[in-house]
Structures are given as C-alpha cells and as structure tokens.
C-alpha cells in the first residue's frame, strides 16, 4: 500500500469525508473568489452557494475558520467566533482571537494543554493548587449555556475565568466556586476552566443543556495522510 502526503491542512466534515471548499485560502479575497455568491437548485429549492460554507484563512498565527452567518456578500464573511473583519477589530483583538483553537468536536476541553497545579477564578489570578489544572483559553459563544463536567466522577469545574476579544479578564463573569454549567456574558469570547486532576481523563466543556457522553477533544487536522491501494 502506498501513501500520498498532503502537506496542507484539510478539514473533515465527518469520518472519511473531506470538505473540498474549506481551503485553506491565502486571504479573505481569495475565499470570496472561490466561493461564488449565487443561488443553486437543491431539490427544487434555491439556496445560496455560500450557505453553510466554512472556509479556512491563512494568517501569521495559523489557519482561522470564517463563515457567512448573516449576509452572503463578501463583506459578510466573518471569523466563525462572530467577530467581523472590519475597522472595529483592533490588532490586539484579532491577535487574541486568532490564538484560539478551531475545535471540530463537541468537547472544547483540551487536557493536553492544561497548566498543572494552578487554579484560576473570576479575577484571572493564578492560585497554586497541586490537585487542580487549568485549561488554555477555550472559545465559547456569549450568552449560550455551556456545561463543564467529568463523565466518570460527575464533577464540575473548580472555577473559571472569562475573557473578552482583547484577551482582558471580565471580572463580572467567571466563578470562584465550583460549577457544572455556565453562561458566558455578552462580551465573552473565551474562558479558562480549572478542573481536578483526577477528572482530566474524561473532562468535557461543551455547549447546551443536555448532558452528553464523553467524546475526545479534536482540533483542525494540520497534516493528513491518504492511504491508497496499489495500482493494478
């Protein structure tokens, strides 16, 4: 069996299916040129070709997901966090947003990047605690319920911190006491979550009120190997 090494990142829609429209593209203009703003017939219903499309844009800090949530014009293409690419976005805000991971599973908690023996609450100050670890910034949706829990032990988060688009702590958000669910405030785009070390193996942060079974954390695939059968 031979193998073909595809060096550019690829996006999986589901196991075994690649999103051929995702890119990545060198810039927003290239993505808009590749994805036409026109209607197509789908089973007798006219749907804009850009509807539901997610595109990857290459930046100095990595590849960021963009989409068309409201308008299918070129100006309607925004970062998937909902922050528009216009003059209202400062370089500091853009830098913080671009540092957030693009997660492709329902579990937003990455146990591989936690800071051990540290917990962090409302004020964003690190507190030493040998029994706790704190996550890297997790992208969240403002004003939407999120759950935080370990499946095996059913423990929630020890505490958590909220951050705005510039990376500044939002002191009116977050919690200094254990929680199993939280709703980020209107200006929050990321949180850090502190969890017990004994809970890390199957700890989850996910959106929605319904309790789900554990699924592993998955980011955008940075390198993909395609296996092919020998030619006959």
pLDDT for res 56 = 85
Which parts of 120-186 fold into alpha helices (H)? none
Burial letters for 106-137: b for 16+ Cβ neighbours within 10 Å, e otherwise?
Answer: ebbbbbeebeeebbbbbeeeebebeebbbbbb
What pTM did the predictor assign? Answer: 0.58
pLDDT of the residue at 90: 55
Q: Which two tokens stand for residue 104?
A: 């492709």
Strand partners, 226: 4
Specify the pLDDT at position 10. 54
Predicted confidence pLDDT, tens digits, the chain (232 residues): 444 444 455 555 544 445 667 878 888 888 888 888 888 776 667 778 888 788 888 877 678 888 887 788 888 888 875 443 343 445 556 566 666 777 767 899 999 889 999 999 999 999 999 999 999 999 999 999 999 999 999 999 999 999 988 888 999 999 999 999 999 999 999 999 999 999 999 999 999 888 888 999 886 644 444 444 444 4
CB-CB neighbours of 162 under 10 Å = 25
Q: Terminus-to-terminus CA distance in the chain, angstroms? A: 12
CA distance to 59, 109, 156, 182, 187, per residue, from 144 (Å) = 28, 17, 18, 8, 12
């Amino acid at each position: 069996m031979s193998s073909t090494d595809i060096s550019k990142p690829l996006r999986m829609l589901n196991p075994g299916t690649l999103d051929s429209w995702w890119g990545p593209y060198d810039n927003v203009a290239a993505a808009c040129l590749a994805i036409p703003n026109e209607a197509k017939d789908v089973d007798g219903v006219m749907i804009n070709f850009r509807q539901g499309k997610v595109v990857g844009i290459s930046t100095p800090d990595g590849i960021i997901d963009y989409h068309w949530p409201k308008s299918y014009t070129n100006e309607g293409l925004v970062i998937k966090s909902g922050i528009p690419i216009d003059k209202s976005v400062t370089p500091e805000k853009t830098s913080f947003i671009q540092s957030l991971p693009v997660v492709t599973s329902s579990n937003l908690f990455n146990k591989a990047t936690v800071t051990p023996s540290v917990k962090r609450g409302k004020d964003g100050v690190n507190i030493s605690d040998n029994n706790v670890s704190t996550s890297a910034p997790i992208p969240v949706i403002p004003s939407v319920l999120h759950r935080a829990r370990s499946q095996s032990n059913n423990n929630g988060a020890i505490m958590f911190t909220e951050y705005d688009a510039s990376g500044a702590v939002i002191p009116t958000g977050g919690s200094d006491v254990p929680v199993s669910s939280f709703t980020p405030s209107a200006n929050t785009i990321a949180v850090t979550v502190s969890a017990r070390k004994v809970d890390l193996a199957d700890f989850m942060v996910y959106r929605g009120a319904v309790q789900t079974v554990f699924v592993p954390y998955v980011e955008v695939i940075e390198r993909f190997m395609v296996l092919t059968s020998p030619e006959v």
